[in-house]
Amino acid sequence: MGHETDIDPELGEVLFEVVVVGNAVKCSALDPRTNTEVCVVGSAYTSPYSLKMNALRKLKRVLRKNASV
Protein backbone atom coordinates (compact mmCIF):
# COMPACT_ATOMS: atom_id res chain seq x y z
CA MET A 1 0.00 0.00 0.00
CA GLY A 2 1.37 3.40 -0.91
CA HIS A 3 0.27 6.90 -0.02
CA GLU A 4 1.50 9.85 -2.06
CA THR A 5 0.68 13.49 -2.39
CA ASP A 6 0.88 15.18 -5.77
CA ILE A 7 0.04 18.73 -6.72
CA ASP A 8 -2.30 19.46 -9.61
CA PRO A 9 -2.32 23.07 -10.84
CA GLU A 10 -6.14 23.17 -11.00
CA LEU A 11 -6.96 21.28 -7.81
CA GLY A 12 -4.03 21.96 -5.55
CA GLU A 13 -3.25 19.03 -3.30
CA VAL A 14 -4.50 15.56 -4.31
CA LEU A 15 -3.83 12.45 -2.23
CA PHE A 16 -3.29 9.09 -3.95
CA GLU A 17 -3.41 5.57 -2.56
CA VAL A 18 -2.37 2.55 -4.61
CA VAL A 19 -3.24 -0.93 -3.33
CA VAL A 20 -2.46 -4.25 -5.02
CA VAL A 21 -5.31 -6.76 -4.71
CA GLY A 22 -4.34 -10.05 -6.36
CA ASN A 23 -4.01 -9.47 -10.11
CA ALA A 24 -5.56 -6.00 -9.87
CA VAL A 25 -4.49 -2.61 -8.57
CA LYS A 26 -6.88 -0.13 -6.94
CA CYS A 27 -5.93 3.53 -7.13
CA SER A 28 -7.82 6.09 -5.06
CA ALA A 29 -7.60 9.87 -5.47
CA LEU A 30 -8.81 12.22 -2.73
CA ASP A 31 -9.39 15.96 -2.81
CA PRO A 32 -8.82 16.98 0.83
CA ARG A 33 -10.66 20.31 0.47
CA THR A 34 -13.99 18.72 -0.51
CA ASN A 35 -13.31 15.27 0.95
CA THR A 36 -14.27 13.76 -2.42
CA GLU A 37 -12.73 10.38 -3.21
CA VAL A 38 -12.79 8.31 -6.41
CA CYS A 39 -11.32 4.92 -7.24
CA VAL A 40 -10.17 3.21 -10.41
CA VAL A 41 -9.10 -0.40 -10.83
CA GLY A 42 -6.66 -1.76 -13.37
CA SER A 43 -4.43 -4.69 -14.14
CA ALA A 44 -1.41 -5.32 -11.92
CA TYR A 45 0.67 -4.76 -15.07
CA THR A 46 -0.62 -1.20 -15.53
CA SER A 47 1.86 1.46 -14.50
CA PRO A 48 1.08 3.33 -11.27
CA TYR A 49 1.43 6.62 -13.17
CA SER A 50 -1.32 5.61 -15.63
CA LEU A 51 -3.63 4.61 -12.81
CA LYS A 52 -3.00 7.89 -10.98
CA MET A 53 -3.70 9.95 -14.10
CA ASN A 54 -6.95 8.03 -14.72
CA ALA A 55 -7.98 8.56 -11.10
CA LEU A 56 -7.11 12.26 -11.35
CA ARG A 57 -9.22 12.66 -14.51
CA LYS A 58 -12.11 10.89 -12.80
CA LEU A 59 -11.76 13.10 -9.71
CA LYS A 60 -11.84 16.26 -11.83
CA ARG A 61 -14.94 14.97 -13.65
CA VAL A 62 -16.74 14.20 -10.36
CA LEU A 63 -15.81 17.59 -8.87
CA ARG A 64 -17.12 19.41 -11.98
CA LYS A 65 -20.35 17.40 -11.82
CA ASN A 66 -20.82 18.13 -8.10
CA ALA A 67 -20.12 21.85 -8.63
CA SER A 68 -22.84 22.11 -11.28
CA VAL A 69 -25.51 20.45 -9.12
Q: What is the pLDDT of residues 1-57, one digit of tens each?
A: 555 555 556 778 899 999 999 999 999 999 999 999 999 999 999 999 999 999 999
- Domain carrying residue 24: 2-68
- Please give the model's pTM, rounded to 2 decimal places: 0.83
- Long-range own/partner contacts, residues 34-43 (CB < 8 A, 24 or more apart): 34/63, 34/66, 36/62, 36/63, 36/66, 38/62
Which has the closest alpha carbon to 56: 23, 21, 13? 13
Total number of domains in the chain:
1
30-46 tens-digit pLDDT: 999 999 999 999 999 99
pLDDT range class, residue 69, cuts 50, 70, 90: confident
